[in-house]
Amino acid sequence: MARRTSPRRILTRLLTNSGLDKEEMGDVQKTDAFVDEGLSLLENEEPALLDWLQHDPEVRRLLQVQVSATYVMLLRNAAAKRPLSYSMGQLDSLNYRAACALAVAASMRARPRIDLEALDVR
């Protein structure tokens, strides 16, 4: 099943009435606009890249493992009575690693593959 890129403005809806001040909510709305614009560009100008993101087995595995790791990390940290800030630091690291891996994979998919064994460089 294809992953849906809608609904829009999900961050704003999730964080409304969450205790964030007006300035922080402004940052959330700017982030939502950034994400929504990126999704719109994918849908309208880069449909092949969107299809790759939705159907590539490595991407799907990365996202599934990311969700599982996040869940387990939150459960373990809660059981160990660690502060939420500790979990957020770990989650930030997990998300950064996944974003980097996706960026590299997306940029490499457009490049022709070089068969190093066929080159027989010695």
For 33-67, write each residue's pLDDT tens digit: 999 999 889 999 999 999 999 999 999 999 999 99
Which tokens in the block code for residue 66? 């990311």
User: For the chain, which residues make up each domain, given as ranges?
Assistant: 20-55, 57-108
Residue found by looking up tokens 């590299």 in the block: 104
Rounded to the nearest 10 degrees, what angle do helices 57-79 and 47-55 cross at?
60
For 111, list phi and psi in degrees, rounded to 5.
-90, 145
pTM value is 0.74
Residues 61-114 have pLDDT tens digits of 999 999 999 999 999 999 999 999 999 999 999 999 999 999 999 998 877 777
Using DSSP's 3-state secondary structure scheme, residue 20 falls into coil
Residue 1 has what pLDDT? 46
Cβ distance 54 to 61 under 8 Å? no
As a whole number of angstroms, the distance between CA 61 and CA 105 comes to 13
Residue 105 backbone phi and psi in degrees, to 5:
-60, -40
